[in-house]
Chains A and B, each alone.
Chain A
Amino acid sequence: MKDHQEQTPVDAVRQVLSSVVGANRVQQVRDDDLIFEHRVIDSLHVVEFVERIETTFGLEVDGADLTSENFSSLQAIARFVEARQAVS
């Protein structure tokens, strides 16, 4: 296990995505790759992914948050998570 302290937010998001779709699928994904357009994850696994984002980072995602802008890439998700954590 990596030390949680040293992990960047993008790494943490990457780890959550790996736990849903598998490390092999996420390995070649670059931080700014469009994960939905590249079919890294499909629509029927979105809820599971969002739930894991919520538990991992201790935040709540609602319908207005779950957009293709906030969730387009690992980087975008990390930015969204950071912004949300800064507010709370």
Chain B
Amino acid sequence: MAFRVEHLLRDAAAARPLATALRAGDAEVTWAELDAASDRVASCLVGQGIGVGDRVGLYLDKGVEAVAALYGTMRAGAAYVPIDPDGPVVRAAAIATDCALAAIISDPRRVAALRAVAPAAAPGGIVCGDAIEGFVSWTQVQESQPREPARPVVETDLAYVLYTSGSTGRPKGVAITHRNALTFVSWARDVLGLQPDDVLSNHAPLHFDLSTLDLFGAASVGATTCLVPEAAASFPAQLARWIDDSGITVWYSVPTALSMLVRYGNLASVPFSALRLVLFAGEVFPNRYLSELMRLVPDPRYFNLFGPTESNVCTYYEVTEPPTLHSCLPIGTACANSRCEVVDEAGVVRHGIGVQGELVVTGPGVAQGYWGNPELTAERFPAPHTYRTGDVVEVMDDSHNPSFRFLGRRDQLVKTRGYRVELGEVEAALYAHPHVRECVAVPVPDEAVGNRILAFCAPAGTVSEGDLAEACRGRLPAYMVPERIVFVDALPTTPNGKYDRKRLAESAAGLTGVSR
């Protein structure tokens, strides 16, 4: 019985030791090899005093080492905290500090960068490359003596902490237990009918929760995960051929990646002979591109998966027909062992066709809360295993397990390229610049990427758009940086004195219209 995420690895290695677990570029490892590599990482971490209740940062490029590191961390009893290896080092340091990492698995270059910003953020751990002070090199890890965690690890311990955009400008860590993760993985395995001969793509980075299906779904049946090379991901026609050549049977990504394939992938010329499932999540897939994709690649089954990191995927919908242009694709029904309900403003559950309100998810898949943030946890997790999503949905039928339609957000959270962006975090980055008096960030809906982010700024003193953009880039991941920053003398307000975000969004839409 698998009680913990790393049990999936142990079981896959026992059942299919010589089957390929992971392909990453030219590198390929079997389940037995990945199991052994993870064991050595775990032993090394235990030897460094890491154990139950600790967090270990993963701050390195995606690859065999990173995957062995995440399993090894869990096997040592600690939770892994994946940090965007290409993001600003200031943000990496903020996450490392917020999470009080006990160790970090990284490389010498990134450790040096992190230490330059926040000396306490990289307390020690493992580096891929030459050993540096306080760190064990990957070569030395291979010589670790087998060690078991000092205390038993149980399913209610944390498996990983995923950081997402926070509205106050501080990223927030969603704390996921082994039980949370396995609830989701068990659902995915059953509904998708995952098989040992499946080959799952991994397009999403490790700090994005989509990656957990690719890795742990595959592990749950001893299938193969194929990491999409970043170079292939950037060139749609090459990516289409890569999917076919790699024998991918299950593709999972944000809609932006699939829209890119539809627009530039020359899909009609690729047979996609092995592909049986196309899964997408993270944001609304524009009907235009989804229907074109389904016509160009008609054989696989298509699934719309829905759910914030806090609840994991909580609803799903199989798309059986290409959607018409103006229809609204349902987000579907609750996943196994999850209860999805609609509540009104007073928090009372409402039933019946056409009822609109906030989606609330209950079940063992729902995260424990936000790391080190009891106030925000209490606000959004009103009871254990219950999460108020902030998503406004509509009930589509009156069955006991109804289907839902997504209408929008209650707050300032928008999606771009599948990523969550709290507009407040963008504004906080702008406000950190001394020459910003007032600012508002607004989304401009866009079919290719979901939303483009623009900002309006009333300056204090002399500052250029380029200066502010650079300041944002120093603090925010690339997808959060406003595409344009428009200077105004003053920001418009509503009669009750709030910024008139609606009016600003409208003028922003006009601006992007003119520029293309």
Please list the residues of chain A having a beta carbon within 8 angstroms of any beta carbon in chain B. 21-25, 36-37, 39, 41-48, 50-51, 55, 61-64, 66-68, 71
CA distance A21 to B40 in the complex (A): 39
A67 adjacent to B235 (CB under 8 Å): yes
The answer to whether A51 and B469 touch (CB under 8 A), given A21-B478, A46-B260, is no
- Among residues of B, the one whose C-beta sits closest to the C-beta of A34 is B231
Most chain A C-beta atoms within 10 Å of own C-beta, residue among B234, B448, B466: B234
On chain B, the residues within 8 Å of A44 by CB distance are 254, 256-257, 417-418, 449, 479
Dominant secondary structure at the B interface: helix
CA distance A39 to B110 in the complex (A): 14
Size band of the interface chain B makes with A: 20 to 34
Chain B 258-273 interface 0/1 with A at a Cβ cutoff of 8 Å (1 = within): 0110011110000000
On chain B, the residues within 8 Å of A51 by CB distance are 448, 516
Please list the residues of chain B having a beta carbon within 8 angstroms of any beta carbon in chain A. 86, 230-231, 233-238, 254, 256-257, 259-260, 263-266, 417-418, 448-449, 466, 469-470, 473, 478-479, 481, 483, 515-516
On chain B, the residues within 8 Å of A25 by CB distance are 473
Q: Told that A23-B466, A61-B264, A63-B263 touch, could you supply 10 new A-B pairs with CB distance under 8 A? A: A22-B469, A22-B473, A44-B256, A44-B449, A44-B479, A47-B448, A48-B448, A55-B516, A68-B234, A71-B234
B516 adjacent to A42 (CB under 8 Å): no
On chain A, the residues within 8 Å of B449 by CB distance are 44, 47-48
A64 adjacent to B237 (CB under 8 Å): yes
- Among residues of A, the one whose C-beta sits closest to the C-beta of B86 is A39
On chain A, the residues within 8 Å of B473 by CB distance are 22, 24-25
- Among residues of B, the one whose C-beta sits closest to the C-beta of A25 is B473
The answer to whether A63 and B448 touch (CB under 8 A), given A22-B481, A44-B256, is no
Interchain nearest-CB distance for B419 vs A (Å):
8
Can you list 5 A-B contacts (CB < 8 A)?
A22-B481, A36-B230, A43-B233, A46-B235, A67-B237
CA distance A22 to B470 in the complex (A): 6
CA distance A74 to B408 in the complex (A): 40
Most chain B C-beta atoms within 10 Å of own C-beta, residue among A37, A43, A45: A43
CA distance A51 to B479 in the complex (A): 16
**Quick one: which of A22, A36, A50, A64 contacts B231, CB cutoff 8 A?**
A36
- Among residues of B, the one whose C-beta sits closest to the C-beta of A50 is B264
Complex A-B, nearest 7 residue pairs according to Cβ-Cβ distance, in ascending order: A43-B233, A63-B264, A44-B417, A43-B234, A63-B266, A22-B473, A63-B237
Interchain nearest-CB distance for B10 vs A (Å):
33
CA distance A36 to B236 in the complex (A): 13
A68 adjacent to B238 (CB under 8 Å): yes
Interchain nearest-CB distance for B224 vs A (Å):
22
